[in-house]
Structure 1
Amino acid sequence: MQHRMPGFLVAAVIAIAAQFISEHYGAPAMLLALLLGIAFHFLAEEGPCKPGIEFTARTVLRIGVALLGVRISAELMIGLGADLIGLVIAGVVLTIGFGLLGARLLGRGWRFGLLTGGSVAICGASAAMAISAVLPRNEHSERNLIFTVLSVTVLSTVAMIAYPILAQTFEFTDEVAGVFLGGTIHDVAQVVGAGFSVSEETGEVATLVKLIRVAMLAPVVLVISLTVRRYAQEGETDGKRPPLLPFFVIGFLFFATLNSFGLIPAMVSDAMSSLSRWALLISIAAVGMKTSLKRILDVGGQAIFLIVAETIFIAVLVLAGVALLGH
């Protein structure tokens, strides 16, 4: 463990710097951690920091995703109502399907379609990192992950500003605005910011809807993991098969179950939620350190078109669903 400390500490310092800048200047902390990490790419190429950066980008990431489960409970889902829960689930499934179809039409690999579609459909950077952890790896894996995290974070920030304006322009009720914002914006923090900028009720509904999308992370990752194990071709992996049931999915479901039965005190839940956020922030700094900016730029215009199209698709889908349900 000692040989991993230098790399972990560098990633932690980058994450702290990103959080400090975020709090003082309002930029998304995840985006800042990623960009600052890319600036320190040379540390991941060789030297004492390399083992710790590898460990942080993989294991610390999984710990952060597992701890996300403390935000989820059965009571939370029941409070939203069966029709809106159905809309949220349909939005997640159809957006991932749209991503796979779009990737195929544009000549991109199925991994890229799953990665971008899942991150847009569920919870942005956190979902991208969780899905990436169970996909078979190839020479483009890290480049695609960095591109996806960077893109969904930027798009989420744009949506945080633009979507509340749209909601007020079209005179949505507080509930409809909350469902729209929570069902379409990628990252949790941006959903909260956008929702409460409209009204207190909109903020509460938006956060609730968003957390239902976050709850979809475990089943989606589980299905991807099982499907990959069964159908991935021999030449599509680096020789390692993903585990049957990733430990971070087990952890996510375990903490969500405990929280549903009220077995996690509020103070402990808040602490674990904060720890999850820091783990994800530190791990995304490490992921940034592992990838050069030149490799990100090689991803091409088709990839940008696909992720923007997925973002528009889920926005139109949620609005159509709300209209059909009569909210």
Structure 2
Amino acid sequence: MALALPFPTAPLSRVQSFAGSVGYGFLVSAVIAIAAQFLSDHYGAPAMLMALLLGIAFHFLAEEGRCAPGIAFTSRTVLRAGVALLGARISVDLLIGLGPRLISLVVAGVVLTILFGLIGAKFLGRGWRFALLTGGAVAICGASAAMAIAAVLPRHDRSEQNLIFTVLGVTVLSTIAMIAYPLITATLGLDAQATGVFLGGTIHDVAQVVGAGFSVGQETGETATLVKLIRVTMLAPVVLVFSLSIRAFGPSDGASEGKRPPLIPGFVLAFLALAGANSAGLVPVAAQAVLGDMSRWALLISIAAVGMKTSLKTIFEVGGQATLLIVAETIFLAIFILAGLAWFA
């Protein structure tokens, strides 16, 4: 006589089936992310860039076979989880620390860079999706912002291509800025605080901001990190505005709309909930560190999956106009922040 199990087996079997369908792709993405982090730790290369390039080398795994469903899941769901966990690093205290003038400068830099991207994209014949993707990535926090914005943009046949190009572009430009911008501030004779504001307000990725800031000095590094985290705080409001605008007006370029996006994406709500809990002092320091590491690894693993979903050939098909746009957005943001510092001086 068969023994009855004390718990239902159907949910367990569904979990096992789900894990079996996505497990291979997730594990491959995780292994690539670990390899990228090893290269970053030992050779100083940006981990995001290494994960991206290594992922592209394994593009064949995403085309068919057991890994393909897991790679798709990782590039989408794990990505959103990583963005949501960024909220644990945000608090109201960050905003109070800089004062209203510098906060206004940073916020204006984010908004105007995105608007500049929209205008520039129209002038260069690029679509509004690409403008929001590159403008948001340059203005806010590089690869993390690009992936968050891509998650709410209506999909079309070039969605993966545009995302991979944007992540690659902002990572390379951020690495160049990490080296060049401290030299620029030294040439201009900026003091420690102004240098920190400039580095934190212009360099795309958090890691490069920290590297550039502390290479100048302790005060500059702390200021740069603070300013950068304020830019990261802008991620949720910007993504929310994009999501609501897309929901209200919809695609206007003939692309398939598919399922209508939610009023507020779940990962944005999770980001805001964590930021609110952290601001209220409900997230212990140890938990902040753990959630921050989880966010970083989730984003690293997901960018490896995004790399696997994109062939190297498609990156070069984006065109020189796309490169010109993302470089122009970067230069615009740098000039704006420098002009604002000169105005406040």
Which TM-score applies when normalising by structure 2?
0.94
Query: What's the RMSD between the two structures over aligned residues?
Result: 0.8
The aligned counterpart of 2:258 is 239
CA shift, 1:240, in A, is 2.2
- Offset at residue 238 of structure 1 (A): 4.2
Paired with 1:120 and 1:44, the residues of 2 have a C-alpha distance of: 28
The offset of 1:103, in angstroms, is 0.4
Listed one character per residue, the Cα deviations across residues 153-199 of structure 1 (whole Å, up to 9, x for unaligned) are: 00000000000111112111000000000000000000000000001
Residue 152 of structure 1: aligned partner? 170
Q: Distance in 1 between matches of 2:245 and 2:190?
A: 40
* Aligned: 1:201 with 2:219: yes
Establish whether residue 290 from structure 1 lines up as the match of residue 309 from structure 2. yes
Instruction: Tell me the matched-pair count.
Output: 326
Once residues 329 and 251 of structure 2 are traced to their aligned partners in structure 1, the CA distance between those partners, rounded to angstroms, is 27
1:92 is aligned to 110
The separation in 2 between residues aligned to 1:269 and 1:296, in whole angstroms, is 36
Moved >3 Å (runs of 4+): none
Please tell me the residue identity of whatever aligns with 2:37: Q
2:46 aligned to which of 28, 32, 43? 28
Are the counterparts in 1 of residues 154 and 251 from structure 2 also a CA contact under 8 Å? no
Q: Which residue of 2 aligns with 1:124?
A: 142
Aligned pairs (5 A) from 1:23-62: 23-62=41-80
Q: Distance in 1 between matches of 2:251 and 2:340?
A: 37
Q: Which residues in structure 2 correspond to 1:68-87 (within 5 Å)?
A: 68-87=86-105
Q: Check if 1:319 corresponds to 2:338.
A: yes
Distance 1:155 1:240 in 2: 35
CA distance in structure 2 between the aligned counterparts of 1:224 and 1:90, rounded to whole angstroms: 17
In the other structure, the counterpart of 1:171 is 189
Separation of aligned partners in 1, 2:93 and 2:167 = 30
Whether the aligned pair in 2 keeps the contact of 1:136 and 1:240 (CA below 8 Å) is no
Selected match of 2:328 from 302, 305, 309: 309
Q: List runs of 5+ in structure 1 lacking aligned partners.
A: none
The answer to whether the Cα contact below 8 Å between 1:160 and 1:191 also exists between their aligned partners in 2 is: yes
Question: Is 1:264 aligned to 2:276, yes or no?
Answer: no
Among candidates 265, 273, 283, match of residue 254 of structure 1: 273
2:292 to 273, 281, 288: 273
Shift of 1:18: 0.2
Match of 1:115 in 2: 133
CA offset digits 1:236-278 (Å, max 9, x no partner): 3341222111011001100100110111110011000000000
The separation in 1 between residues aligned to 2:191 and 2:256, in whole angstroms, is 48
Alpha-carbon distance in 2 for matches of 1:82, 1:240: 41
Deviation at 1:49, TM superposition (A): 0.3
The structure that has the greater radius of gyration is 2
Residue range with higher mean Cα deviation, 309-318 or 167-176: 167-176
- Identity %, equivalent residues: 71
CA distance in 1, matches of 2:68, 2:278: 37
How many angstroms apart in 2 are the aligned matches of 1:146 and 1:65?
A: 17
Aligned to 2:9: none
Kept in 1, the 8 Å contact 2:251–2:257? The answer is no
In structure 2, runs of 5+ residues without a counterpart are: 1-17
Q: C-alpha separation between the residues in 2 aligned to 1:282 and 1:50?
A: 15
| 1:267 counterpart letter in structure 2 | A
Q: Distance in 1 between matches of 2:234 and 2:95?
A: 11
